[in-house]
Structure 1
Amino acid sequence: MLQYCKMRLVQARDMVLISGWRSLLGEIFYLNRVAVPVEIPLDALRPVTDFTRPADEAVVELSGELLGERRMEYRFQSRYLKALSYLGKGYRGFGLVKGNTVVGDVWCADKRQGADCGSHPDEQWLGIQCSPGEAYTFDMFVDPAHRGGNVAAALQNGMLHLLKKRGVTKAYGFFWADNVPALWVHRTLRWRELKRVRATRLLLTRKVHVTGQSAG
């Protein structure tokens, strides 16, 4: 519990440093914010070469060994602590690595046989049901110093290709409808948008209802 509280405090500090107090408050309090659940079959992904990166960058699967030994590092401590927490829960992480620095990461829960975790809390309120061999992706972050130039698309597309190699057949996720860069990335990679979900959050509570129309 103490480690979790430390992570949340550091995360709040880093969010304020990156985006200001308004961004932090927007994650804690929102009213009728629209979430767009999405899905993508992994047999029809865009080629990795569509989003080429410099030779010293690559998308790799993260592990407790790599992070614990500091063989790969984050610029923001909150992302490092969150990565350790996610790995401890059995989630999979994929990072866009430049040298030994993780400049962006994205996470997933999948239905692997014998996996420690099989689902993520978001799946319930989004109305997503992953079957065996499918994965729910969440919490993508790119260091502000490295944003632009298709970095987010390269990270997400690279992650999907790695999931495919590991036997995953379909991925799910979501983005907020008011997050234009996220909308652009998901449409660029050809995710299919599902029924929108309206969510209200006050501190740690969340109330939701489904709109009945796809995001189109």
Structure 2
Amino acid sequence: MTDLGYFFVCGAAKSGTTWLQRVLDYHPEVQSSGEGHFIERFSVPLAQLLRDYAKHMGVVSRLVYEGTPFYPPVAQADLDRLVRSFILDRLKTRPLKPGVRWIGDKTPRYTHGLQALLRLFPHMRIINIVRDPRDVAIARMHHARRSGVSEQVAEGTRERLSFIGAGGHAWASPAIGRAARAGGAGGIGKILRRPDARQRLCLSDQAEPFCFRAARTCPMVRRWHRH
């Protein structure tokens, strides 16, 4: 157990993070779970709770004990210890497969919490998946239809353009787009400069993103889509 390595999968929404998590989980030495949302749904709210607690304890120290309290102030190390312990416990709630060497979690928004993860797990590995934003736009529209909000992507509506533009700007945000900028030449660079306009160009009837062509030829992906 002490020899386990830890990793976290992240990326823009609808970039294939769930697909990547499942692929990793198929490996006999890897256990990949999701979505833990350990940073934005646990660490960040807990940090605010501890700040409020520390503020209250400061008032108690000043008014009751004349500045000499019994308890020391809450430090960053205290928060990190609590969060790390919680994450480790959650990761290990799944029975470990025999021979597992790496254990991890995928949550797309870890892109916004990398510094916190690095502080908690200095020797961790981060896997950031970057998908062509044109494919992301198509996937987001399919997801909207499956989720029962098809009116947001109805053909010829302002809501559709707004929906596409919001996804494009999110994809190109500093937290997500940095990795793509480092290796994104040609068309990707143009998309990053104008994500909303460029994504509209790919939504014609002729557009057929690579991800859907691959889904028809990959048996593993076909099985997941059936489920």
How high is the TM-score relative to the length of structure 2?
0.29
Flag the structure with higher strand content: 1
Flag the structure with higher helix content: 2
How high is the TM-score relative to the length of structure 1?
0.30
